[in-house]
C-alpha cells in the first residue's frame, strides 16, 4: 500500500523540527512506498509463475501415473508382473524412508533398538550412516539393560595347578568383579549357562580327572553340587541347547574320551548320546541353530569338525553325527576355542606344533564355506571364547606364559579391540555369558 505524508506532516513542522528534515522524511517514506510496491508486485508475479509450474508438474505427474498404470496392466496381462511381487517391491522401496522418519525421533529409536537387540542395531549401523546415527546413541543403553555378564571359571596359571577363581565381566561398566570361588578347583573344565544358572563340569584338579559338576545361582550368589557326569574327563567342551547342558569329548589322562552326555536340570539326570566321531587332542564346542558343533585338531594336525542334532529324535540311539567340511588350509591349532554368532561358527587361536597362533576362521552353516578373518591380536592356546551382544570375546590362554588378555571382535567391521584384562591370568579356563 502506498505511503503518503499526512496533512499534518506536510504542514509546517513544529518548532523543534527543521523544515528541511520534514521534507527529507517525506521523500524517504515515498521512496520506501515505491520500493515496497515493486517488491510486492514481483512476489505476486513469482507466486503466479510457481503456481503455474506446480500445475504443470501435477499434470505431468498425473500423466506419468496414467502411463505407469497402463504399463502395469500390460505387464500383468502378459503374466510378467504378479501383483504380490509389485506390492512387495513397493513396500521395500518405501520402508527405508519410513524407518528413517521413525528413527529420527529418539524415543521411537530407543523402542526400535530395544526390540531389535544389540546385534541388529550393530548391523544397521554398519550398513547405513543414517540409521547408525539414529540408533548408535541407543547402544550404551542396550548394553547396560540387555547384555549379560561374562563369567570366567577355573583354569590354571604359572602359580597354581588348578584354580577355583571365578571372575565376572560387566560390559556396561567395562569392568571385572570377583565371584564366589568354585567348590572344586579345576582346569580343562567345561561351562555353560542353562536356565539362568552357570554349570561347570569335569576338568582336572591337579591330581586327578574329575566327573564332579557344580552350579552357580546368581539369585543366591552361591555354588551347589549337581549329579556328576557319567564319564570323568578334562579338556572337554560344553554348550547349552534346548534347556540342557551338553558335554562332548575330552581326555582321561592319556586316553581320548569320545563320550557325549547331556544333563537335564529339570530331571537332574544325565543322558548318554552317540559318541562323537573325532579323536582330537582337545576339543571345543558351540551351539549353532539346533545343532551341536565340535571341533579339534587331531594327531595328524588336521582340524576336524562334526555336528549333531540332538533334537531330531527323542531316541538317542537314532541320532547320528555328521562331518563338517574341513578347512582346506586352516591356521588354527590344538587348543583353539570356538563360539557361534549370527548363524556362523568362529574358531580362534591354538598351537600349531611350533608356536601359538592368533588365527581366526569362520564357518557359514548355510554355505558350508570357511573364511579367514583378522587374527586375534594376542596369539594363544587354551583360551576361551564367548559370543554376546553381537560381538565375540576371546579370554585368557597361554603363549608360554599364562595370559590375562581379553579381546573383543566386531564381526561386521572385522575389527579387534582390547578390553580390561582378566584380574587373574589363566589358561584351560571356561567361560559363559549369563545375566547377573
Encode pLDDT of 317-339 as tens digits.
Answer: 788 999 887 665 567 778 899 99
Beta bridge partners of 237: 248
pLDDT value for 250: 92
- Domain definitions of the chain by residue range: 82-142, 148-434
Q: What is the mean pLDDT of residues 166-189?
A: 95
pLDDT value for 145: 61
pLDDT value for 194: 94
Residue 149, pLDDT > 60, answer yes
pLDDT value for 235: 93
**Rounded CA gap, 226 and 239, in Å?**
17
pLDDT class of 13 with cuts at 50, 70, 90? very low
Classify domain 148-434 by CATH number.
2.120.10.80
pLDDT value for 328: 52
Q: What is the mean pLDDT of residues 332-352?
A: 89
pLDDT value for 403: 97
Residue 404, pLDDT > 90, answer yes
pLDDT value for 3: 43
pLDDT value for 8: 45
pLDDT value for 5: 45
pLDDT value for 44: 85
**Rounded CA gap, 209 and 89, in Å?**
61
pLDDT value for 436: 67
pLDDT value for 309: 92
**Using an 8 Å Cβ cutoff, are 217 and 245 in contact?**
no
Compute the radius of gyration of the chain from its Cα atoms.
35
Question: Tens of pLDDT along 279-307?
Answer: 777 788 999 888 999 988 777 777 788 89
Q: What is the mean pLDDT of residues 39-48?
A: 85
In terms of pLDDT, which residue wins out, 418 or 112? 418
Here the cell at position 270 is 544325565
Q: What is the mean pLDDT of residues 214-229?
A: 95
pLDDT class of 9 with cuts at 50, 70, 90? very low
What count of other Cβ atoms lies within 10 Å of the Cβ of residue 149?
21
In terms of pLDDT, which residue wins out, 57 or 10? 57
Report the share of the chain in percent with pLDDT over 90: 47
* For the ranges 100-114, 115-129, 194-208, the one whose mean pLDDT is highest: 194-208
Residue 426, pLDDT > 50, answer yes
Amino acid at each position: 500500500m502506498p505511503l503518503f505524508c499526512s496533512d499534518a506532516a506536510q504542514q509546517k513542522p513544529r518548532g523543534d523540527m527543521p523544515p528541511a528534515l520534514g521534507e527529507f522524511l517525506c521523500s524517504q517514506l515515498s521512496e520506501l512506498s515505491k520500493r515496497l510496491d515493486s517488491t510486492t508486485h514481483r512476489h505476486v508475479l513469482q507466486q503466479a509463475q510457481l503456481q503455474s509450474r506446480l500445475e504443470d508438474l501435477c499434470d505431468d505427474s498425473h500423466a506419468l501415473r496414467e502411463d505407469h498404470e497402463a504399463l502395469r496392466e500390460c505387464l500383468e496381462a502378459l503374466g510378467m508382473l504378479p501383483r504380490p511381487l509389485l506390492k512387495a517391491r513397493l513396500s521395500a522401496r518405501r520402508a527405508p524412508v519410513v524407518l528413517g522418519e521413525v528413527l529420527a525421533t529418539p524415543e521411537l529409536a530407543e523402542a526400535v533398538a530395544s526390540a531389535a537387540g544389540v546385534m541388529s542395531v550393530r548391523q544397521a549401523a554398519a550398513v547405513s550412516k543414517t540409521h547408525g546415527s539414529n540408533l548408535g546413541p541407543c547402544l550404551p543403553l542396550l548394553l547396560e539393560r540387555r547384555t549379560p555378564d561374562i563369567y570366567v571359571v577355573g583354569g590354571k596359571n604359572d602359580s597354581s595347578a588348578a584354580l577355583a577363581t571365578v571372575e565376572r565381566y560387566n560390559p556396561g561398566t567395562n569392568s571385572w568383579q570377583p565371584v564366589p570361588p568354585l567348590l572344586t578347583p579345576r582346569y580343562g573344565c567345561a561351562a555353560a549357562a542353562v536356565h539362568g544358572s552357570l554349570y561347570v563340569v569335569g576338568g582336572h584338579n591337579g591330581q586327578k580327572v574329575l566327573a564332579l559338576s557344580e552350579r552357580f545361582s546368581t539369585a543366591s550368589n552361591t555354588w551347589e553340587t549337581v549329579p556328576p557326569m557319567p564319564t570323568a574327563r578334562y579338556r572337554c567342551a560344553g554348550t547349552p541347547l534346548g534347556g540342557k547342558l551338553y558335554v562332548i569329548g575330552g581326555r582321561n589322562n592319556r586316553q581320548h574320551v569320545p563320550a557325549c552326555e547331556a544333563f537335564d536340570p529339570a530331571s537332574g539326570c544325565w543322558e548318554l548320546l552317540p559318541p562323537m566321531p573325532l579323536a582330537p587332542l582337545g576339543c571345543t564346542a558351540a551351539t549353532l541353530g539346533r545343532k551341536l558343533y565340535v571341533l579339534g585338531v587331531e594327531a595328524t594336525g588336521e582340524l576336524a569338525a562334526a555336528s549333531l542334532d540332538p533334537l531330531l529324535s527323542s531316541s538317542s540311539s537314532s541320532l547320528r553325527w555328521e562331518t563338517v567340511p574341513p578347512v582346506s588350509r586352516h591356521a588354527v591349532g590344538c587348543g583353539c576355542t570356538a563360539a557361534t554368532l549370527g548363524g556362523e561358527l568362529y574358531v580362534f587361536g591354538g598351537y600349531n606344533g611350533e608356536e601359538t597362533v592368533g588365527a581366526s576362521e569362520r564357518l557359514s552353516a548355510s554355505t558350508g564355506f570357511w573364511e579367514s578373518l583378522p587374527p586375534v591380536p594376542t596369539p594363544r592356546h587354551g583360551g576361551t571364547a564367548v559370543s554376546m551382544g553381537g560381538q565375540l570375546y576371546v579370554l585368557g590362554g597361554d603363549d608360554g606364559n599364562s595370559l590375562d588378555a581379553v579381546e573383543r571382535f566386531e564381526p561386521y567391521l572385522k575389527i579387534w579391540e582390547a578390553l580390561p584384562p582378566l584380574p587373574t591370568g589363566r589358561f584351560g579356563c571356561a567361560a559363559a555369558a549369563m545375566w547377573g
